[in-house]
Homo-oligomer: A and B are copies of this chain.
């Protein structure tokens, strides 16, 4: 009852705030979009192989959340699993004034226990293409993910035109259970879980079943659940395709056979348009591309996605770009492309650098920063267990402050990582409210010779300006000179390439406690992330619903 009242009070005050805001800025009333979700297990055959997955109302990916800029979204989430908790993060939503609804278990809330219902209530204050996903254990891998699509306010025009809107969410799929994966990742003898079995486009893929799997009924290639996704297009029309990735491990390439794509949005920011045949996309990133159905319309075309950055052993993910009125499952007459070379990092870096803010929407970054945090990305053994770390701190929860930098002078980023001084730590950075912070992500060799991995880092509660990328060890004298202060894109996710560095700047203007972490779920699970707080004294009274279980939700703080 206390909880309900408190929720209602928060909701009311939020609504009041944003209604005022809307009246001033848009002169339209913001609405409330209500979603009623039940998280439960279900047997699914996304790639024809039957396995138990985590679903929202029986579906994986879950339902797309549609809202308009300024709307309040209410997701009433009921956990109908047996013994397993859940927490859901609204990826790219800044949670101004509602940091407690960021959905990051252990950071902003206690996970939602079986049988409990939790109301996530937040304002989507910026149009664009966003994601949601579980933020607990390996529950993205288990299947809990989907899109948030926020339309522009009435009367506002985006800097591009299209006839129709479509969306494609990408995922890699494992046949093992997430409990098994978590166990494997926690072994001393790191029984690495290997490459995914399938790539899914809008939840559909195709696994080449063995005879015994077919005979045992586990794999059924005729199951309609694994028929490929098709996007039906009308000749000569232009499509805005929203593309998001929530892979557990894989960086991907994405293409539509014989069709160019014009990139126009990245993580909710408008992009100075550029044309590409192939879009690279990391876990946690979203893009909008424009595609014109301008090819021979008597046939269909392949939509393909392939693994990059790691030597792939996962087959190409397939869908069909279906020209109306061809039969939607009429396979294209061609062989699907296997995509660009997996280890052509230069092409990936080139594309990352090509992503600039649209000239009409440039938001200039503050010219100087108050603090620079350099984060060395390494793989380590801690007490014999494999971990990933930033500055030799693998994220866990204790009371020791983490370091702002590493031994820049002496660390050889091309050496096989030893890092015997790595520890587990809470890695909480206390940052001055409204200060400007630079983060330099510095990559290095892993525990394997001549091996460095791509890490897409995602920031909660904020966007950051991407000031630059480079190869080798970051040099604060020379490399800062190459920073882009003219038209840097603002994003929430950015890749760090092998042996390279990535520089970003953000303003700590959102009171709360926020995660910044590698979005590869396995890497984050193994500690690759930091927590920062800014302005927590401004957060005010926390809703009781974010902590406690059962009747303890009615308890008050002493």
The verdict on A549 contacting chain B, using a C-beta distance below 8 Å, is yes
Q: Indicate which residue in B52, B179, B549 contacts A82 across the interface (CB closer than 8 Å).
A: B179
A558 within 8 A of B: yes
Name 7 extra pairs, CB < 8 A, besides A547-B555, A548-B552: A83-B85, A83-B111, A84-B85, A85-B114, A547-B552, A549-B552, A555-B556
Is A75 engaged at the interface, CB distance under 8 Å to the other chain?
Answer: no
Q: Does A311 contact B (CB under 8 A)?
A: no
Kindly state whether residue A165 has any CB partner on chain B within 8 Å.
no
Determine if A275 is an interface residue (Cβ-Cβ < 8 Å). no
Q: Quote the shortest CB–CB distance from A114 to chain B (angstroms).
A: 8
Give chain B residues whose Cβ lies under 8 Å from the Cβ of A177: 52, 177, 179
The distance from the CB of A39 to the nearest CB of chain B, in whole angstroms, is 12
* A238, B182: Cα distance in complex, Å: 47
Contact A2 B41 (CB under 8 A): no
Please determine whether B110 and A183 come into contact, CB atoms closer than 8 angstroms.
Answer: no
Residues of B within 8 A of A294 (CB): none
A416 within 8 A of B: no
Say yes or no: A138 contacts B85, CB within 8 Å: no
**For window 88-137 of chain A, which residues contact chain B by CB distance below 8 Å?**
106, 110-111, 113-115, 136-137
Q: Which of A200-223 contact B (CB under 8 A)?
A: 212
The residue that A138 contacts in the complex, of B52, B82, B136, with Cβ under 8 A, is B82
Whether A520 is near chain B, meaning CB under 8 Å from some CB there, is: no
Count of interface residues, chain A, beta-carbon cutoff 8 Å = 43
Residue in B82, B106, B547 whose beta carbon sits within 8 Å of that of A137 in the complex:
B82
Known: A177-B177, A558-B554. A182 touches B549 (CB 8 A): no
Does A86 sit at the interface, judged by CB under 8 A? yes
* 16 A-B contacts (beta carbon < 8 Å): A40-B183, A40-B186, A41-B180, A41-B182, A43-B183, A52-B180, A83-B85, A83-B111, A83-B138, A83-B178, A113-B113, A114-B137, A547-B548, A548-B548, A554-B557, A555-B558
The complex is assembled from copies of this chain, and their number is: 2
Is B551 a contact of A549 with CB atoms below 8 Å?
no
Q: Which of B2, B40, B180, B549 contacts A547 (CB 8 A)?
A: B549
Given contacts A549-B548, A556-B558, contact A41 B179 (CB under 8 A): yes
Output the least CB separation between A201 and chain B (Å). 26
Residues of chain B lying within 8 A (CB to CB) of residue A182: 41, 82
Name the interface residues of A23-73: CB closer than 8 Å to any CB of B: 40-43, 52
Interface presence of A540 (CB below 8 A)? no
Q: Which residues of B contact A304 (CB under 8 A)?
A: none
- Inter-chain CA distance A85–B112, complex, in Å, is 11
The reply to whether the CB of A333 lies closer than 8 angstroms to some CB of chain B is: no
B residues within 8 A CB of A83?
84-86, 111, 136-139, 178
Compute how far the CA of A179 lies from the CA of B41 in the bound complex, rounded to whole angstroms.
8
How far apart sit A548 and B110, CA to CA, in the bound complex (Å)?
9
List 6 tightest A-B contacts by C-beta distance, closest first. Answer: A83-B137, A548-B552, A82-B137, A555-B555, A547-B552, A212-B212
Residue of A82, A85, A182 ringed by the most chain B CB atoms within 10 A: A82
Smallest CB gap from A555: residue in B: B555
Residue of B nearest to A177 (CB): B177
A110 close to B113 (CB less than 8 A) = yes
Which residues of chain B come closer than 8 Å to A397, judged between CB atoms? 115
Knowing A83-B136, A177-B177, A179-B82, say if A110 contacts B552 (CB, 8 Å): yes
Cα separation A114 to B474 with both chains bound (whole Å): 38
Point out the residue from B86, B114, B557 that lies within 8 Å of A555, measured CB to CB. B557
Choose among A110, A397, A555 the residue with the greatest number of B CB atoms under 10 Å from its CB.
A555
